[in-house]
């Protein structure tokens, strides 16, 4: 989750009284250098389609009386704005097309400026596009000026001229990187005077301020100043903020960016909801951006229907204490636990804590007392100084929050409330309350929390169709207002339920929206923030949520909205406007669907969903027909035959060792081929499926493939084991029918069947699996998972064979980490989707960074660290880097290869930061592979020693168990890493690398290194890091078209192998870089993929062979592609944003670079066989003796070379405990 690293953000550069603004445009240097496939699609989308009809031709200006927001403040506001207070409200009416002359012949060109102010919001570039096209429509020779990096670009004269070429590179794209943004305001007399000098010097007729409530108020003050001073520059605004708190119905029904941000967050919340259902053991607590209002939290709750959503406005109204919130959540968790639900989803706004009255009082007194002489920043001292009421509140807080309040303070000595991670605070208080209830006997469940904080990734995303349209209309409206010489207005676009062509446009005076608030001891005019209305004319969204809130506490009625779509012709949901807005404009919300009564099966609840209960996007997706290879076109067992290609082998040096474990190690490779004749079809098959590995997109499509193939076999049935391997042991099987599967086509996660532990290894477990299959009379068992799952599957198959079991065991490669690949397996299910889902978030964040130009984002990517390898793989991080082009990528394999120490790694990052700072760029994006620390030699040793110590544990106890070197390293680490190293282990006793905030450690160390360089004078930039872990947001994503088709094909293939009795095989599909119809499906024996750790094969302890998780090939095509561009990425902003996964349209067919670059081992073998066959044909008796001699000598030399090459393959050892 995002959290600001505790570092000092440098203050905004002060502008001295002597500095003079500049009046010449700067050369433009911020053009984007690269675009993803979807970005190119959106760039090509015609913006004119978004133009409301009323703005076409020459619209008429209709002036109306504006109604002030506050009658009591009207006179005060009039006194503050004497020149512009009486500005009328404006509405545009349809005029006569070409009334002013063709091509604006009777009009004069206008010169307008635009500035982006405040935080980023999706759609800002389309506002600029609307302005640009609008002034060009007014007169072809009109020009536009763009002020750089926010309002200080105005009063310093930092600007560029915006050309058509520049503008066309940003249409329909996210972020503010075209011009950059800033949070400065024009406040001092000097700044106002310089702003006017600049506008006069460059001859601006108008200026558009694109910003939120404060920015537009500042724009109104500027409009007043310009008019009072006789400056010709008119000023209008456009309403921007993702928080949704700039809303003044009916004229400003919504601010732009809110829709995209909320839909981005809703996609992620939907993904973690599926994750919760898949594992059924975590509460996912999600903190959403929105400090001053809960609008985002409410919108996301309406879109996803979590179990609980806390609204700050309700907390404030009802004067709820932290204890009240704690007790309410604890009651819900206890009630859910009693019906077997120790999981759920909870949403809260980031500003929740500031709505709690007692907390506000505590913070106020705490700041006062800590500023008083004699009060130290210790609990004992503070408790004595606080009032009894506040002391009680302070004591109720968890220990880590109390410490944070006392130690983490801003430069003025005040408590930094915004740094408090509210989700962790609530989880801690709820956990403590539940433990008290456990002691009292009322609670017997399990409460484990996963934390998520979504913010920056929503601010710069590719705008939705609604935001793209709304923003373009706002820009066109602003241009028309300026062209008509109007000032002091904010652009207004309404009638938003209608098609864009029917939207109504105009402008509303900013002064009419203002109220007076006391700020910093002075009366200030401000646009009143639109908080979530609990009652009143705009309370419809809140009322709608309240009606279903109590039911949601107990039900699992999650709605999965899926990724934002852009195919307006084929996908109806791409046109959706915000749910909040729909309700406010009179539409009703879809009622709660019928949620099936769950059936208790062991520790799992089985509750298959109906198609009708799915979201609109899911229902639309379910109608898509899976694409399959030519051999499976008919989706019928009768139309496919199994062709034995050639006997396989394992590594030559391992053959004798392998025979100790397996009866046969030379089973043939199998290929599925279409047959015109109808062979006899296996009937009365009973095939079971177990999800062993972790969640991955596409697994439900695999079920569909199995079911669809088996339905063509009379009397055959498919069974799913509920609860993974535990479900197999306990025989928790349900029949899977086409009707059940239909509701899960194209859906993410493992929610239908779930999973538990990826382990099928001991003699007892093998026998329990055999007994279950025998009792259920299964003819086939399909085990789905990664390297560990398929290693286990090999031994399950061998055990069944030795016990003469009739159940054929087949494996399927699955896992988002992408390391269940080898020469036979080109990809694992879920990798493509997870990479795309993560890449969208990284792309959004990188663009956000290049817009604000002041943060370094350290993004840790969930990867193969938890698959059992001592040194993990980084396939996902590499693929995401290839799709997004960050400034730096820290790969586990590369760090291991170069034997980097932690100090060397930190130096490399710091060097890149310093190099960019020298070019004036104090921002960037760095991707960190999850398992990176284990690749650093000194850390690897420390981890190895810690894994021998029982966990969880405390630092004091652990230090005595460590060697001198490891103890020294451990003691130098920050407290947070020490705590994370000592947390509970995963099921195979290995350290959970996902628990280590590697990105935060690196940021901490890099900041220290740069601080030292600054003292030495070798670093003059600034460094402000933001850290995030990306994983759970993506692993239950909606599958891409590739994963949907790939999983379906593997399902069909595995069913063929199982029905044909081919036990001990993994289903594979090769030639994945080709169109789907050219894919080749088949099976490979597990024994051909098993290897023996070279260091232990001859030792006294002889471990079983394993399928090694595959690491990145540093000589492979994918890594070489990254190497070819990494230097440029480090220096420049090469960022690409692949955007959300598309389910239709041209970019839906895009496949991950890693998969497309995959070496086709089977195709090479086929080519080799052709060459050998040709030699055999040419060297028959009677051929020229010279031919025989050359062939013999060449083949002899080849065999000598092959002897030299013989050795262990590039792999990593799998943990065996």
Long-range contacts, stretch 952-957, CB < 8 angstroms, 24+ apart: 952/982, 952/983, 952/984, 953/982, 954/982, 955/982
Question: How far apart are the C-alpha atoms of 809 and 801, rounded to whole Å?
Answer: 10
| Distances in whole angstroms, Cα of residue 673 to Cα of each of 574, 712, 1079, 1084, 1173 | 40, 17, 11, 15, 22
Please give the structure tokens belonging to residue 1109. Answer: 């998780």
Question: How far apart are the C-alpha atoms of 534 and 778, rounded to whole Å?
Answer: 57
Q: What are phi and psi of 176, to 5 degrees?
A: -120, 20
| Distances in whole angstroms, Cα of residue 877 to Cα of each of 5, 78, 1142, 1165 | 22, 57, 21, 30
Please give the structure tokens belonging to residue 552. Answer: 């949601």
Residue 75 annotated in active site: no
DSSP secondary structure string, 300-359? HHHHH--SEE--HHHHHHTT--HHHHHHHHHHHHHHHHHTT---EEEEEETTHHHH-HHH
Calculate the dihedral angle through the C-alpha atoms of 229, 230, 236, 242, rounding to the nearest 10 degrees.
-20
Please give the structure tokens belonging to residue 41. Answer: 């699609």
Q: What is the CA radius of gyration of the chain?
A: 32
Question: How far apart are the C-alpha atoms of 291 and 283, rounded to whole Å?
Answer: 23
Pair 679, 711: CB distance under 8 Å: no
Exposed / middle / buried, residue 969 (Cβ in 10 Å: 0-12, 13-18, 19+): middle
End-to-end CA distance of the chain: 31
Q: 3-state class of 534 per DSSP?
A: coil
Question: How far apart are the C-alpha atoms of 925 and 930, rounded to whole Å?
Answer: 16
Look up tokens 């980097």; give the residue: 900
Exposed / middle / buried, residue 3 (Cβ in 10 Å: 0-12, 13-18, 19+): middle
Question: How far apart are the C-alpha atoms of 1212 and 935, rounded to whole Å?
Answer: 12
Q: What are phi and psi of 687, to 5 degrees?
A: -115, 130
Closest listed residue to residue 605, CA positions, set 690, 471, 480, 732? 732
Calculate the dihedral angle through the C-alpha atoms of 76, 79, 82, 88, rounding to the nearest 10 degrees.
10
Residue 445: DSSP 8-state: -
Angle made by CA atoms 577, 590, 301, in degrees to the nearest 5: 65
Pair 299, 244: CB distance under 8 Å: yes
Please give the structure tokens belonging to residue 375. Answer: 């009060």
Residue of 205, 243, 467, 576 with catalytic role = 243
Pair 459, 258: CB distance under 8 Å: no
Angle between helix 322-338 and 422-440 (nearest 10): 60
Question: How far apart are the C-alpha atoms of 639 and 245, rounded to whole Å?
Answer: 60
Q: 3-state class of 1151 per DSSP?
A: coil
Question: How far apart are the C-alpha atoms of 541 and 588, rounded to whole Å?
Answer: 9
Active site residues: 243
């Amino acid at each position: 989750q995002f959290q600001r690293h505790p570092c000092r953000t440098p203050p905004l550069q002060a502008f001295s009284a002597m500095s003079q603004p500049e009046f010449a445009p700067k050369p433009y240097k911020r053009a984007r250098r690269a675009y993803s496939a979807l970005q190119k699609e959106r760039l090509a989308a015609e913006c004119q389609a978004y133009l409301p009809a009323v703005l076409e031709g020459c619209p008429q200006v209709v002036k109306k009386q504006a109604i002030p927001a506050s009658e009591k403040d009207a006179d005060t506001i009039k006194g503050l704005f004497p020149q512009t207070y009486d500005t009328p409200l404006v509405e545009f009416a349809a005029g006569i097309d070409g009334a002013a002359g063709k091509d604006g012949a009777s009009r004069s060109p206008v010169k307008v400026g635009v500035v982006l102010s405040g935080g980023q919001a999706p759609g800002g570039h389309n506002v600029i596009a609307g302005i640009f096209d609008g002034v060009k429509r007014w007169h072809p020779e009109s020009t536009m000026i763009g002020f750089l990096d926010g309002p200080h670009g105005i009063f310093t004269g930092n600007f560029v001229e915006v050309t058509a070429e520049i503008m066309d590179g940003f249409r329909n794209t996210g972020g503010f990187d075209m011009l950059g943004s800033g949070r400065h305001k024009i406040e001092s007399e000097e700044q106002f005077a310089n702003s006017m000098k600049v506008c006069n010097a460059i001859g601006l007729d108008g200026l558009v301020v694109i910003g939120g409530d404060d920015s537009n108020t500042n724009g109104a003050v500027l409009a007043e100043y310009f008019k009072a001073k006789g400056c010709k520059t008119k000023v209008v605004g456009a309403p921007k903020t993702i928080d949704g708190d700039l809303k003044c119905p009916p004229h400003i029904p919504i601010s732009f960016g809110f829709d995209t941000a909320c839909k981005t967050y809703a996609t992620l919340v939907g993904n973690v909801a599926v994750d919760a259902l898949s594992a059924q053991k975590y509460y996912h607590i999600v903190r959403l951006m929105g400090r001053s209002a809960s609008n985002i939290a409410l919108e996301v709750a309406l879109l996803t229907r979590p179990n609980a959503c806390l609204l700050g406005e309700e907390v404030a109204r009802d004067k709820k204490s932290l204890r009240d919130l704690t007790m309410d959540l604890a009651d819900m968790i206890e009630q859910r636990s009693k019906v077997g639900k120790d999981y759920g989803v909870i949403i809260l706004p980031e500003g929740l804590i500031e709505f709690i009255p007692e907390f506000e009082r505590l913070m106020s007194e705490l700041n006062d007392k800590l500023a008083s002489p004699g009060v130290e920043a210790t609990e004992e001292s503070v408790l004595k100084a606080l009032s009894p009421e506040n002391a009680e509140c302070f004591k109720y807080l968890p220990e880590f929050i109390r410490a944070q309040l006392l130690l983490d303070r801003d430069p003025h000595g005040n408590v930094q409330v915004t740094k408090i991670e509210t989700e962790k605070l609530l989880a801690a208080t709820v956990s403590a309350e539940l433990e008290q209830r456990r002691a009292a006997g009322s609670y017997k469940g399990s409460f484990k929390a996963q934390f998520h904080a979504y913010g920056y990734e929503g601010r710069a995303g590719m705008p939705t169709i609604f935001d793209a349209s709304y923003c373009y209309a706002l820009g066109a409206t602003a241009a028309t207002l300026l062209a008509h010489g109007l000032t002091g207005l904010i652009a207004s676009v309404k009638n938003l339920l209608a098609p864009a062509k029917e939207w109504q446009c105009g402008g509303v005076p900013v002064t009419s929206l203002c109220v007076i608030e006391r700020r910093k001891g002075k009366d200030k005019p401000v646009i009143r923030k639109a908080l979530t209305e609990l009652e009143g004319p705009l309370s419809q969204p809140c009322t709608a949520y309240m009606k279903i809130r109590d039911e949601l506490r107990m039900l699992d009625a999650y709605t999965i909205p899926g990724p934002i779509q852009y195919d307006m012709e084929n996908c109806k949901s791409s046109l959706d406007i915000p749910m909040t807005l729909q309700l406010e404009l009179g539409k009703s919300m879809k009622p709660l669907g019928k949620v099936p009564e769950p059936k208790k099966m062991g520790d799992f609840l089985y509750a298959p969903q109906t198609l009708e209960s799915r979201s609109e996007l899911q229902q639309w997706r379910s109608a898509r027909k899976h694409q399959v290879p030519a051999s499976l076109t008919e989706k019928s067992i009768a139309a496919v035959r199994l062709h034995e290609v050639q006997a396989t082998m394992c590594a030559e040096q391992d053959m004798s060792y392998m025979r100790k474990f397996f009866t046969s190690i030379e089973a043939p490779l199998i290929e599925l081929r279409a047959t015109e004749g109808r062979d006899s079809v296996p009937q009365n098959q009973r095939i079971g499926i177990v999800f062993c590995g972790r969640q991955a997109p596409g697994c439900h499509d695999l079920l569909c493939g199995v079911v669809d193939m088996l339905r063509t076999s009379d009397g055959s049935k498919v069974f799913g084991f509920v609860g993974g391997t535990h479900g197999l042991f306990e025989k928790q099987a349900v029949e899977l029918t086409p009707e059940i599967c239909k509701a899960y086509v194209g859906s993410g996660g493992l929610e239908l069947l779930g999973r538990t532990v990826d382990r099928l290894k001991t003699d007892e477990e093998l026998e329990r699996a055999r007994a279950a299959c025998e009792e259920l009379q299964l003819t086939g068992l399909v085990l789905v998972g990664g390297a560990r799952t398929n290693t286990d599957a090999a031994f399950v198959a061998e055990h069944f064979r030795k016990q003469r079991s009739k159940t054929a065991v087949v494996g399927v490669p699955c896992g988002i980490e992408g390391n269940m690949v080898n020469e036979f397996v080109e990809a694992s299910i879920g990798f493509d989707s997870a990479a795309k889902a993560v890449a969208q978030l990284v792309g959004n964040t990188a663009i956000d960074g290049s817009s604000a130009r002041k943060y370094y984002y350290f993004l840790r990517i969930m990867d193969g660290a938890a698959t059992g390898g001592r040194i993990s793989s980084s396939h996902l991080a590499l693929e995401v880097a290839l799709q997004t082009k960050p400034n730096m990528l820290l790969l586990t394999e590369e760090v291991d290869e170069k034997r980097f120490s932690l100090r060397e790694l930190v130096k490399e990052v710091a060097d890149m930061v310093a190099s960019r700072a020298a070019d004036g760029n104090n921002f960037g994006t760095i991707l960190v592979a999850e398992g990176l620390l284990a690749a650093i030699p000194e850390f690897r040793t420390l981890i190895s020693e810690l894994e021998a110590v029982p966990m969880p544990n405390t630092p004091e106890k652990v230090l005595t168990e460590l060697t001198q070197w490891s103890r020294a390293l451990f003691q130098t680490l920050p407290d947070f890493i020490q705590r994370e190293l000592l947390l509970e282990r995963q099921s195979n006793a290995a350290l959970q690398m996902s628990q280590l905030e590697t990105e935060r450690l690196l940021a901490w160390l890099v900041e220290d290194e740069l601080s030292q360089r600054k003292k030495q004078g070798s670093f003059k930039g600034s460094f402000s890091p933001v850290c995030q872990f990306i994983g759970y947001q993506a692993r239950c994503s909606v599958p891409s078209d590739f994963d949907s088709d790939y999983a379906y094909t593997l399902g069909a293939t595995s069913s063929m192998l199982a029905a044909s009795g081919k036990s001990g095989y993994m289903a594979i599909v090769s030639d994945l870089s080709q169109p789907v119809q050219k894919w080749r499906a088949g099976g490979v024996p597990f024994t051909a993929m098993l290897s023996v750790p070279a260091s232990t094969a001859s030792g006294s302890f002889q471990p079983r062979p394993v399928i090694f998780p595959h690491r990145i090939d540093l000589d492979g095509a994918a890594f070489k592609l990254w190497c070819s561009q990494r230097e440029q990425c480090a220096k420049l902003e090469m960022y690409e944003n692949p955007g959300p996964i598309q389910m239709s349209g041209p970019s839906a067919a895009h496949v991950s670079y890693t998969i497309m670059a995959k070496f086709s081992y089977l195709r090479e073998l086929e080519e080799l066989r052709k060459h050998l066959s040709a030699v055999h044909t040419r060297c028959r008796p009677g051929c020229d003796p010279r031919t025989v001699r050359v062939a013999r000598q060449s083949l002899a030399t080849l065999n000598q070379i092959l002897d030299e090459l013989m050795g262990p393959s590039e792999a990593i050892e799998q943990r065996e405990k």
